[in-house]
Amino acid sequence: MISYEEIAKWSDIVSALLFLAVLAYLWFKYIQPAVLAAQAKSNELIKLTERHRDEAKAAIDALNRELEGAQRDAGLIRERAKGQAEREAEAIVADAKAGGERALHNAEAELGRARTAARAQLRDELAGQALDLARVQAQQRVDGALNVKLVQEFMKSLEHGNAN
């Protein structure tokens, strides 16, 4: 017959097996679905995070390309602005030079006119002074007899056509 010891032993074995069966049942019924759901949720979060990371990398790459393009455009704008500034500076210098040359030419022409006018005025003044001086000296040097002689010689020269 079976002894109490064997019944106790088999009772421990059966209770252990039942405990393991209940644990297996609880595992498969409640714990494993929760673990799988948490794993699926975690995998979804990882996929979402990876997608955001890839989108951010793509956005950074696009922004880097735009930045390179903007830097290239800025360089071209700087070169164009520098060239335009140089051309404008050359045009301003050329205009100033032309204006200066015109002013110099006009001043030279004005100086020539002023010289001519001054010479004419000086000539007129000198001629007037010379005539005044000649009248004074002629009155002092020429007497009536010399005057008659000069008039007669002048008349003879007119008759001969030799006006001196």
* 163: amino acid identity, one letter: A
- For 153, the 3-state DSSP assignment is helix
- How many Å apart are CA 125 and CA 136, to the nearest integer? 16
At 7, give phi and psi (nearest 5°): -65, -40
Distance from C-alpha of 85 to C-alpha of 93, rounded to nearest angstrom: 12
Instruction: Residue 156: name the closest of 148, 143, 135 by CA.
Output: 148
> In whole angstroms, what separates CA 121 from the centre of its chain?
57
Does the predicted TM-score (pTM) go above 0.95? no
Per-residue buried b or exposed e for 16-48, using 16+ beta carbons within 10 Å of the residue's own CB: eeeeeeeeeeeeeeeeeeeeeeeeeeeeeeeee
How confident is the model at residue 162, as a pLDDT?
54
| Blockwise average pLDDT, block size 10, the chain, 164 residues | 86 94 94 94 96 96 95 95 94 93 91 90 87 80 79 85 54
